[in-house]
Structure 1
């Protein structure tokens, strides 16, 4: 075997080893990126993956673009008096649910979008942008806004479905009106709505004991 042949074989082997290393690092990087996105977005990750038909690359690109665009937003605090005003409005719409469930849910959608705008998220007339920004900072609870929006604009929805949408939206309301108005995210742990808070919504008029 000539010296030239040996050199060519060695060069080919080195090229194969380097290529294998690049592929291996790419796979590790992809897996790590997936884990990070799943941890950050929680249920929003699964929803985005489903929306993209299971195409992980498209879903990841969507989520990363949201983080790049909205991740560094400086959220505005709520003054205590403003926060109390919003809490009073939420309490009233929950009580109104007994007599007018659809209107109460419509009021909840309007109130959530208004509070989000007050905190520095895009304005209510930019619905998709506002949802995208909320999904970055409140990924565990942004579905609450989608729930009330879907219920309000559905042609046929039961009182029970309206109630469930409003209960679901409560967690996002609590995040947006958090005492002290801190600008953190809810990405750590989803907080269930307590039984005490559900109580206003459990018994629409005529539902019985």
Structure 2
């Protein structure tokens, strides 16, 4: 039977601790890389909001667990066509009634979310839920909502409302016409302004 000296036992324990620490570091880095890849800009926003990567990652993982419990389903072709037709009407409404069109666009998006299987909760929770499967456009949703709130306080003009519609359009396309490859799709800033001047967005 081999008898280890106290020094050898100590070195063996130290080696085990180092191996465990390295394993934890590898797992942590892999998880962080996966979350960054999945959430994109939403990862950075959450880090800024929570104050640390560790807290941000816990928050994002909690969102994933919550959304995993939902029954998210794609729209049928008939539902997609109906919502697209509704969007065309909202877009046409913008010409004569920008504020009403923005309000209707927000309601229409909520209807799409509900049909897709997202629970209809408060705005912040809806945004968090959407960020799991739509991280590239959830900030558009927040920006549009912020403009609508500012307009209600008299702090936004018609051009701001036009931007809100473009932001809403980005999320609408993602929800109704999945999947959208954002590496190939135009950015919000490049979406055609004439979409709000009567042209057919389809």
Q: TM-score, normalised to structure 1's length?
A: 0.80
Match of 2:12? 14
Query: What SS class does the counterpart of residue 95 from structure 2 fall into?
Result: coil
Contact 1:163/1:202 (8 A) holds in 2: no
Q: From the two aligned structures, give the one with the greater helix fraction.
A: 2
CA 1:153/1:106 → structure 2, altered by over 3 Å: closer, same or farther? same
1:143 aligns with one of 128, 134, 139:
139
Match of 2:185? 191
Shift of 1:190: 7.0
Contact 1:44/1:139 (8 A) holds in 2: yes
Query: In the comparison of the two structures, how many residue pairs are matched?
Result: 192
Q: Distance in 2 between matches of 1:37 and 1:81?
A: 34
Q: Distance in 2 between matches of 1:78 and 1:201?
A: 25
Does residue 81 (structure 1) correspond to residue 78 (structure 2)? The answer is yes
Q: Distance in 2 between matches of 1:71 and 1:59?
A: 18
Shift of 1:136: 0.9
Q: Distance in 2 between matches of 1:33 and 1:77?
A: 28
Does residue 68 (structure 1) correspond to residue 38 (structure 2)? The answer is no
Match of 1:160? 159
Contact 2:148/2:164 (8 A) holds in 1: no
Spell out, residue by residue over 1:143-199, the C-alpha distance to the aligned partner (whole angstroms, 9 max, x if none): 222122111111312333322222122121012112xxx6x6x68747326867531
Shift of 1:70: 0.6
Query: What SS class does the counterpart of residue 96 from structure 2 fall into?
Result: coil
Q: Distance in 1 between matches of 2:77 and 2:30?
A: 41
Query: What SS class does the counterpart of residue 146 from structure 2 fall into?
Result: helix
Q: TM-score, normalised to structure 2's length?
A: 0.82
Shift of 1:44: 1.3
Give structure 2 stretches of 5+ with no counterpart: none
Contact 1:106/1:148 (8 A) holds in 2: no
Contact 2:166/2:191 (8 A) holds in 1: no
Give structure 1 stretches of 5+ with no counterpart: 204-209
Shift of 1:127: 3.0
Q: Distance in 2 between matches of 1:27 and 1:91?
A: 51
CA 1:36/1:188 → structure 2, altered by over 3 Å: closer, same or farther? farther
CA 1:187/1:26 → structure 2, altered by over 3 Å: closer, same or farther? farther
1:32 aligns with one of 30, 33, 38:
30
Spell out, residue by residue over 1:118-159, the C-alpha distance to the aligned partner (whole angstroms, 9 max, x if none): 111112x44333222211111111222212211111131233
